[in-house]
Amino acid sequence: MIPTLKLSDIITVWRDALQASQPIRDFCTAHYNKPPNIFVGINGKTPPAATDGPVIILYPGTKAEGLELQEYTYKLTISWMISQPAVVVTGNLTEYSGIAECDSLGQLIYFELAQLRPDNPISVLHYNIEPVAYFPQFCGRMDITVTITPVNGYSINF
């Protein structure tokens, strides 16, 4: 038997963890008066609107498996969006509150996923926040790689 893992299996585990996360729920309720809307994929023709925020989106990604590989890699993307028009001006300092809030939500998402599977941890994280293009919406994105060492003849449990 060739060991394999469906990307949708990882997404399901992550979706359920984010949906159940009390720290994420508490943060979103405290800042936006509602829990996040979680999407598994989106319709690119009608993406979530600013009024849907806060939003967390899980995207299917890519994987590399096969008998020639010592390690299998699974790459998935999660994005999030908050809406925060607040701007604080103090003298010659202007600060957009949405940057810190977007980063805080992203960190909560990352912490939730990072502690889920100690046997198959997040191997690489590429994380960024877009603080300019969509004001007053602030978007973040993390590209996550999970690396798993397969054992021939056994299924991969995630």
Q: pLDDT tens-digit profile of 54-73?
A: 999 999 899 999 888 999 99
Judged against a pLDDT cut of 70, whether residue 1 lies above it is answered with no
Strand partners, 90: 93
Pairing of strands 72-83, 55-64: antiparallel
Q: Give the residues across from 122 on adjacent strands.
A: 146
Res 153: pLDDT: 63
Name which residue leads in pLDDT, 119 or 69. 69
Beta-carbon contacts of residue 28 (< 8 Å; ≥ 6 apart): 34, 35, 36, 54, 105
User: Using 50, 70 and 90 to split pLDDT, how confident is the model at 34?
Assistant: very high
**Strand-pair category, 55-64 with 37-40:** parallel
pLDDT for 27 equals 98
Confidence tier at 150 by pLDDT (50, 70, 90): confident
Strand (E) or helix (H) holding 64: strand 55-64
Q: Residue 63 has which token pair? A: 């994987």
Nearest alpha-carbon partner for 16 in 6, 27, 24: 24
Indicate whether 138 pLDDT > 90. yes
CA distances from 41 to 1, 15, 59, 107 (A): 30, 11, 5, 21
Element (H, E) at 128: strand 122-130
The structure's pTM equals 0.91
